[in-house]
């Protein structure tokens, strides 16, 4: 049973959800069903304390890309 990360299109809340079988996920905050599945960075042991880069569909970026042309798609 995988855990997925979602972004709700209605309230813009980001959340994780355990999805079983053919369940249709809904936003726990507003109940909305229009969700974007986010790409997650897998958990990995790293020697540094720095966070792994993640770009969000909101366009906030990972800090390594040039947002003038949009998120890098990392």
Residue 64 structural domain: 1-40+49-74
- Token pair recorded at residue 6: 């979602």
Q: How many separate domains does the chain show?
A: 1
State the CB neighbour count (10 A cutoff) for residue 68.
5
- Parallel, antiparallel, or unpaired for β 3-8 and 14-18? antiparallel
Residues of the chain under the 70 pLDDT cut: 1, 41-74
pTM over 0.85: no
For residue 20, the model assigns a pLDDT of 85
- What residue has token string 């304390």? 49
């Amino acid at each position: 049973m995988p855990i997925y990360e979602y972004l709700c299109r209605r309230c813009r809340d980001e959340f994780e959800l355990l999805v079983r079988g053919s369940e249709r996920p809904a936003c726990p905050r507003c109940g909305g069903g229009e969700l974007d599945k986010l790409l997650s960075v897998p958990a990995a042991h790293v020697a540094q304390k720095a966070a792994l880069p993640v770009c969000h569909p909101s366009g906030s970026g990972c800090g390594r890309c040039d947002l003038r042309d949009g998120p890098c798609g990392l």
